[in-house]
């Protein structure tokens, strides 16, 4: 049988990017411990709508931990207190009856608030567009088995590819650095044969776009990796820095 808990919620409300935001207090009563965090917010919104009040705006899509849309800060931690977990996969059994939860959007200048808990993370998309591509020749597709990939490289590429682009690394970093996200995307393609033709240009363009967007510099505190719901390794940042330095020198020599 499901247990229920009662919670006090302090939720950030903001009508628009140019409006002043503030915390509003709500009560979440008789919350099933089997609910996910977003399901709890759904119930709170249903109650607000019944009262004729404005529901709380928050972002979500898959609710399966693979899209990265559920970007919330809960009690000061991006995606909440569970390591390697997105907000949509965070369950209410992890909270205590009577607990107060402070819920706010990702805090970073490059992630302006659209409304309430929703932020604009399109800066990450523009970084991807700057260099996250591979050349594709026209004609029949080559059989995948004809492209040998070392097991170690394939595993590392897969680990980097698990990045869902949620932006938790940016929200957790004191400098609002996107280095973990950018390095994961660079390394994913940089380890595979299909990503080699543009490898040099890709790292230079994506790093340049990251800087142009206004993300901060990395100071290796590790907060990004600790907050990452997919536990992306800091080794990606080290590899990105090596590639950037290497290919920048080669480009100058050319």
pLDDT of 213 strictly over 70: yes
Are 177 and 97 found together in one domain?
no
What is the C-alpha to C-alpha distance for residues 86 and 100, in angstroms, rounded to an integer?
20
Q: How many residues does the chain have?
A: 254
Are 134 and 237 found together in one domain?
yes
Are 141 and 64 found together in one domain?
no
CA 155 to centroid of chain Cα atoms: 21
Closest of 71, 98, 69, 95 to residue 81, by C-alpha? 95
- Output Rg (C-alpha) for the chain, integer angstroms: 21
CATH of the domain at 198: 1.10.1060.10
Domain-ending residue, one of 68, 91, 115: 115
Of the pLDDT bands very low, low, confident and very high (cuts 50, 70, 90), residue 142 is low
Residue 101: strand pairing partners = 9
Are 63 and 102 found together in one domain?
yes
Are 153 and 205 found together in one domain?
yes
What is the C-alpha to C-alpha distance for residues 251 and 141, in angstroms, rounded to an integer?
32
Are 98 and 153 found together in one domain?
no
DSSP 8-state secondary structure symbol assigned to residue 93: G
What the block records as the tokens of 114 is: 């659209």
Are 101 and 181 found together in one domain?
no
What mean pLDDT is predicted for residues 29-33? 95
Give residue 100's domain range. 4-115
CATH of the domain at 96: 3.10.20.30
Report pLDDT digits (tens) over 68-92: 999 999 999 999 999 999 999 999 9
Domain-ending residue, one of 59, 94, 115: 115
Report pLDDT digits (tens) over 92-116: 999 999 999 999 999 999 999 999 9
What mean pLDDT is predicted for residues 150-167? 94
Instruction: Kindly list the strands in the beta sheet with 72-74, ordered across the sheet, starting from the edge strand earlier in the chain.
Output: 22-32, 4-13, 100-105, 72-74, 77-78
| Residues with Cβ within 8 Å of residue 171, at least 6 apart in sequence | 71, 73, 78, 106, 107, 108, 111, 227
Q: Find the DSSP H helices in 73-150.
A: 122-131
Are 206 and 230 found together in one domain?
yes
| Residues with Cβ within 8 Å of residue 130, at least 6 apart in sequence | 205, 206, 208, 209
Are 16 and 96 found together in one domain?
yes
| Residues with Cβ within 8 Å of residue 38, at least 6 apart in sequence | 58, 60, 63, 70, 87, 88
Are 136 and 243 found together in one domain?
yes
Q: Is 193 helix (H, G, I), strand (E, B) or coil?
A: helix
Closest of 212, 236, 241 to residue 224, by C-alpha? 236
CA 127 to centroid of chain Cα atoms: 14
Are 139 and 100 found together in one domain?
no
Number of structural domains, the chain?
A: 2
pLDDT of 161 strictly over 60: yes
Domain-ending residue, one of 58, 85, 115: 115
What is the reported pLDDT for 86?
96
Are 102 and 22 found together in one domain?
yes
Residue 36: strand pairing partners = 91
Helix (H) or strand (E) holding 12: strand 4-13
Query: In this structure, what are the phi and psi dihedrals at residue 36, rounded to the nearest 5 degrees?
Result: -85, 170
- The answer to whether the beta carbons of residues 116 and 104 sit under 8 Å apart is no
């Amino acid at each position: 049988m499901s247990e229920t808990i009662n919670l006090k919620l302090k939720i950030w409300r903001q009508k628009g990017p140019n409006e002043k935001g503030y915390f509003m207090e709500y009560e979440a009563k008789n919350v099933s411990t089997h609910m996910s965090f977003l399901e709890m917010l759904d119930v709170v919104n249903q109650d607000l709508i019944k009262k004729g009040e404005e529901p709380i705006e928050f972002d979500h899509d898959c609710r399966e931990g693979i899209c990265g849309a559920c970007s919330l800060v809960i009690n000061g931690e991006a995606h909440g207190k569970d390591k390697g977990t997105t907000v949509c996969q965070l369950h209410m059994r992890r909270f205590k009856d009577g607990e107060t939860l402070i819920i706010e959007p990702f805090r970073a200048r490059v992630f302006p608030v659209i409304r309430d808990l929703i932020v604009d993370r399109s800066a990450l998309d523009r970084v991807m567009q700057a260099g996250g591509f591979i050349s594709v020749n026209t004609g029949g597709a080559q059989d995948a088995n004809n492209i040998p990939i070392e097991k170690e490289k394939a595993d590392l590429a897969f680990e980097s590819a698990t990045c869902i682009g949620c932006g938790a690394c940016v929200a957790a970093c004191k400098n609002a650095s996107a280095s973990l996200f950018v390095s994961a995307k660079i390394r994913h393609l940089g380890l595979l044969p299909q990503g080699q033709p543009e490898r040099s240009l890709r790292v230079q363009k994506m790093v340049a776009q990251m800087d142009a967007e206004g993300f901060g510099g990395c100071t290796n505190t590790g907060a990004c990796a600790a907050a990452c719901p997919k536990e992306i390794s800091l080794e990606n940042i080290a590899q990105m820095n090596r590639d950037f330095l290497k290919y920048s020198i080669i480009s100058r020599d050319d």
